[in-house]
Amino acid sequence: MIRERLTSIIFGALGVALFLALWEVIGVNRLAGLTWPPLSQVLQFLFEPARRGLFLRAMGATFTMVACGYLFGLIAGAVMAALVHMVRPMRPGMDKLASVVHAIPSIALAPIFIVLLSREVTGIAIATLNVFFVIYIATTSGLANSTQAHRDLFQVLGSSRLNRLLRLDLPAAMPALSSGMKQAIPAAFIGAILGEWFGSSSGLGLLMVSAMQNFQIPLLWSAVLIASTASLFTFAVMGLLERFVYARFQ
């Protein structure tokens, strides 16, 4: 068991090292042209003290947007799932609405949001929408995860429906919800950065767009590297939370 874990960690680290080395080799030898800089050049650019302010401001703006969108989507998704769980007739309609909204690419909705809301909150709105869908699906399926024996127990104990929701259905939904919370992390990043592309006045998305238009290749790669690393890191943290929740609630 520990041996297997160790092997998988070693192979994982090897894979990452290989990927980074390949990045460097392709960049140094210009194998993919001028737009592929070596990793070392990107890192050097990224950690230049003079640019610290620029990156920190962009990160602050984007991460705030990701966090807000994630939080709103999480609350809206979980509350809506609990609501349709309690008010059964709402369930089929809400399921369909969620699927329809999910089926529309969020990039197509972005211009509408910009017109309706403002440029600054479009990223939050798209992130909220993306996260909402993932959390709604995870929570509705999770709320049905209680066992028949437990449902019988609550009926025999004379439980009210609200009491059953709080003491049985929601705890039983925690594993599914924690998986959803992990999967919703990249969805929140996509939403926020996409929103910024459409003309925010700050953020990593803005850096990407302006770097692209001005052919500032190291800046473009730096912004992408920051966004990807942040998403992967948060995803990994949520993975740990998920493992804890599974151990606790199952």
Stretch that binds another protein, among 110-118, 156-164, 210-218, 228-236 (CB under 8 A): 156-164
Give the closest residue to 191 by CA, choosing from 109, 78, 86, 100.
109
Task: Decide if residue 159 touches another protein (CB under 8 A).
Answer: yes
Among 34, 100, 115, 156, binds another protein (CB under 8 A): 156
Residue window 172-201: x/- pattern of binding to another protein, with contact defined by CB under 8 A: --x---------------------------
Among 1, 2, 100, 149, binds another protein (CB under 8 A): 149
Sign of CA dihedral 98, 99, 104, 106: positive
Q: How far is the CB of 250 from another protein (least distance, A)?
A: 6
Tokens of 37: 């800089």
- How many chain residues interact with another protein (CB under 8 A)? 19
Contact partners, residue 246, CB within 8 Å, separation at least 6: 175, 178
Question: What single DSSP character describes residue 51?
Answer: G
Stretch that binds another protein, among 64-72, 90-98, 114-122, 168-176 (CB under 8 A): 168-176
**Furthest C-alpha separation in the chain:** 73
Among 152, 214, 237, 244, binds another protein (CB under 8 A): 152
The residue among 159 and 216 lying less far from another protein, judged by its C-beta, is 159
Give residue for tokens 């992408």.
224
What is the Cβ-side half-sphere exposure of residue 32, based on CA atoms within 13 angstroms? 11
The residue among 38 and 142 lying less far from another protein, judged by its C-beta, is 142
Q: How far is the CB of 147 from another protein (least distance, A)?
A: 8
The residue among 174 and 206 lying less far from another protein, judged by its C-beta, is 174
Question: Quick one: 134 exposed, middle or buried, by C-beta within 10 A (0-12, 13-18, 19+)?
Answer: buried
Give the closest residue to 229 by CA, choosing from 173, 198, 186, 195.
186
Note the residues at the interface with another protein (CB under 8 A): 147, 149-150, 152-159, 163, 167-168, 171, 174, 248-250
